[in-house]
Structure 1
Amino acid sequence: MKWPLTDDFETRFDRLILLVGRLNYMWTNTESLLIHLIAGLSETKKDVAVIIFLTLNTTRARLDLVERLAKMEGRPPEIRDPILVHTQRLAKLSGIRNKYNHCIYSFDPDSGNPKTILMRISDRKTDIKLGREDTVDASAMKEIEDIVDQLSELNRDIWRLISQLGFPV
């Protein structure tokens, strides 16, 4: 069967690529704010926090570090609690980001809709399952847009908190 290279197909594909690009941009920009939280919580310079941030090579490790620093004994709740609220928000949004970054894309030859194929092995009791496929339809596109909006809001909220706490910028 021939690929459905129609204007509609190209428009959907272009929209998906732009949305995933915006998602990546907003994610990276927002995750990098953890540098300022690390610097403030560990009472160090931003340069040192950058080295720590880059040494930890996963979002989960970076979030764990910030949360553990926030939970250290003697940390006042007015510092700890808003930081934990924001790190939990970021962790919650990571699932969608991971879905669209750790997959390969294919296209449904009938509908022309893009599809994601998860690059993960799911171990079952007696077998394995490879590459769960999901169609990227209008609902999925809306979900990506919503996540980008939530990341944008979280980004502004974290910047406000960094400023309120007087952490290094």
Structure 2
Amino acid sequence: MTDPFEARFDRLILLVGRLNYMWTNTESLLIHLIAGLTGTSKDVAVIIFLTLNTTRARIDLVERLAKMEGRPAQVRDPILEHTQRLAKLSGIRNKYNHCIYSFDPESGNPKTILMRIADRKTDIKLGREDTVDDNALLQIEAVVDQLSAANRDIWKLIRQLGFPV
């Protein structure tokens, strides 16, 4: 029989896997926005997308292309709405992808240890720890659901705008 702590960790790993899958799948839709906004083929847009090695850089590019002078508001505004939505959702994804996992010795709950240095005025702080409790798991599930909805909405926009698919 599976230990309850092991079951919680298994649930966490499955959710992080779903989060990664949904994130990657949804972020890749930026390729179609790049192609449409630049008037290039999807293949050229793939090269541009892969050359930019962070989500933030990809979102920045799409937003800047959408804001270019002469871009109609009916194209610009929905694109900006979707890129801002993705940027907001990226926080949870980053948290669970840029950490290591450990277990609380008393409760057995999984914990995340952030793999980032926080520079302070006179010192640094390493490895902020957060317990992955039921609320955290529900939060990941909610983000996966929101990414799924964002994916559908961005596909709808791509088709409405007639961008390359």
Which residue of 17, 27, 38 corresponds with 1:21? 17
Match in the other structure for 2:59: 63
Matched, 1:82 2:78: yes
Q: Are 2:29 and 1:38 equivalent residues in the alignment?
A: no
Task: Work out whether 1:95 is the aligned partner of 2:95.
Answer: no
Structure 2 segments unaligned to the other structure (5+ residues): none
**Runs of 4+ with deviation above 3 angstroms:** none
Distance 2:84 2:4 in 1: 38
Q: Which amino acid aligns with 1:131?
A: G
Matched AA of 1:10: E
Between 77-86 and 121-130, report the one with greater CA deviation.
121-130
1:160 aligns with 2:150: no
Distance in 1 separating the partners of 2:62 and 2:125: 35
SS in 2 for 1:109: coil
- How many pairs were matched up? 165
How many Å apart are 1:152 and its aligned residue? 0.3
Identity of matched residues, %: 86
Deviations 1:51-100, CA, capped at 9 Å, x for gaps: 00000000000000000000000000000000000000000011110000
Amino acid of the structure 2 residue aligned with 1:137: D
Q: Distance in 2 between matches of 1:30 and 1:57?
A: 16
Alignment counterpart, residue 125 of structure 2, candidates 129, 137, 156: 129
Amino acid of the structure 2 residue aligned with 1:64: D
Q: What is the identity, as a one-letter code, of the residue corresponding to 1:34?
A: L
Cα deviation, residue 10, structure 1: 1.2
Q: Is 1:115 aligned to residue 111 of structure 2?
A: yes
Structure 1 residue 168: Cα displacement: 0.3
The Cα of 1:111 is off from its aligned counterpart by 0.5
Q: What letter corresponds to residue 110 of structure 1 in structure 2?
A: E
User: Which SS does the other structure have where 1:125 is aligned?
Assistant: coil
> What root-mean-square deviation, in Å, do the aligned CA atoms of Structure 1 and Structure 2 show?
1.0
Structure 1 unmatched ranges of 5 or more:
1-5
TM-score, with structure 2 as normaliser: 0.98
| Shift, 1:163, TM fit | 0.4
Tell me what 2:146 maps to: 150
